[in-house]
């Protein structure tokens, strides 16, 4: 008889690395200086999950679709909105759908959900997945291209149970506005003007865009 072979040692836990930042404020100053550059560098240097201090709290930047799905969908119960940033929003907007949790959230979500149903709205009438990310290419969003990407490669509306409830409304509203304007007018950027992107909740030009509008 041979002795049972010992179980293999457990794999060492992998601890995410990240930019160090300064005492007390962490990376706040570096992020403020150049948000997009900081996000891109941190993802490139530290991989799919980076860890850093942002002011008083520890934060994680999850850039791979698998990690996003892990947090937002598969293990959403392990993550809460008990964070000072949400506490600040809560003080302003109260315990609404965006800021509430648990039973209070579920009750409000169930009440609001039918109003945002796709049919009702229509009645109202990372380099790996994004080659050449800065090129304007609407064909990235053909049904085939969408199907070829993991769900969380594109998640401007978040996902899982806390996905934006206005998701379909926002997409339809945007398309309608564009289609209405573009039917009669052709906007052209003023030559020589370079817009500076500003990431707030959405990514937008930092100042109003100077465009010339001509009739079609």
What is the closest distance, in whole angstroms, from the C-beta atom of residue 109 to ligand HEM in the complex?
5
Task: State which residue, 156 or 195, has the beta carbon closest to ligand HEM.
Answer: 156
3-state secondary structure of 36: helix
What is the closest distance, in whole angstroms, from the C-beta atom of residue 53 to ligand HEM in the complex?
20
What is the closest distance, in whole angstroms, from the C-beta atom of residue 22 to ligand HEM in the complex?
26
Binding-site ranges for ligand HEM (CB under 6 A): 97-98, 109, 156-158, 162, 164-166, 169-170, 202
What is the closest distance, in whole angstroms, from the C-beta atom of residue 47 to ligand HEM in the complex?
23
Task: State which residue, 205 or 210, has the beta carbon closest to ligand HEM.
Answer: 205
Contact 54, 27 (CB under 8 A): yes
Task: State which residue, 44 or 146, has the beta carbon closest to ligand HEM.
Answer: 146
65 burial via Cβ count (<10 Å: 0-12, 13-18, 19+): buried
Helical H runs in the chain? 28-33, 35-46, 65-69, 84-93, 102-112, 118-123, 143-148, 167-184
Cα–Cα distance between 139 and 142 in angstroms, integer? 5
Task: State which residue, 141 or 193, has the beta carbon closest to ligand HEM.
Answer: 141
Residue in the shown chain whose Cβ atom is closest to ligand HEM: 166
């Amino acid at each position: 008889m041979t002795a049972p072979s010992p179980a293999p040692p457990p794999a060492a836990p992998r601890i995410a690395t990240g930019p160090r930042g300064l005492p007390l404020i962490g990376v706040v100053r570096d992020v403020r200086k150049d948000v997009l550059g900081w996000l891109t560098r941190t993802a490139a240097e530290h991989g799919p999950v980076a860890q850093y201090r942002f002011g008083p709290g520890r934060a994680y930047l999850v850039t791979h679709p698998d990690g996003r799905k892990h947090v937002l969908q598969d293990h959403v119960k392990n993550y809460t909105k008990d964070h000072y940033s949400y506490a600040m929003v809560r003080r302003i907007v109260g315990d609404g759908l965006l800021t509430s949790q648990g039973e209070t959230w579920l009750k409000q979500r169930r009440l609001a959900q039918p109003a945002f149903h796709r049919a009702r709205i229509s009645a109202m009438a990372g380099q790996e997945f994004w080659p050449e990310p800065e090129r304007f290419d609407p064909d990235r969003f053909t049904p085939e291209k969408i199907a070829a990407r993991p769900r969380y490669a594109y998640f401007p509306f978040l996902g899982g149970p806390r996905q934006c409830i206005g998701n379909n409304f926002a997409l339809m509203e945007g398309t309608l506005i564009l289609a209405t304007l573009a039917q009669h007018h052709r906007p052209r950027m003023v030559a020589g003007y370079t817009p500076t992107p500003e990431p707030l909740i959405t990514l937008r030009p930092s100042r109003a865009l100077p465009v010339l509008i001509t009739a079609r």
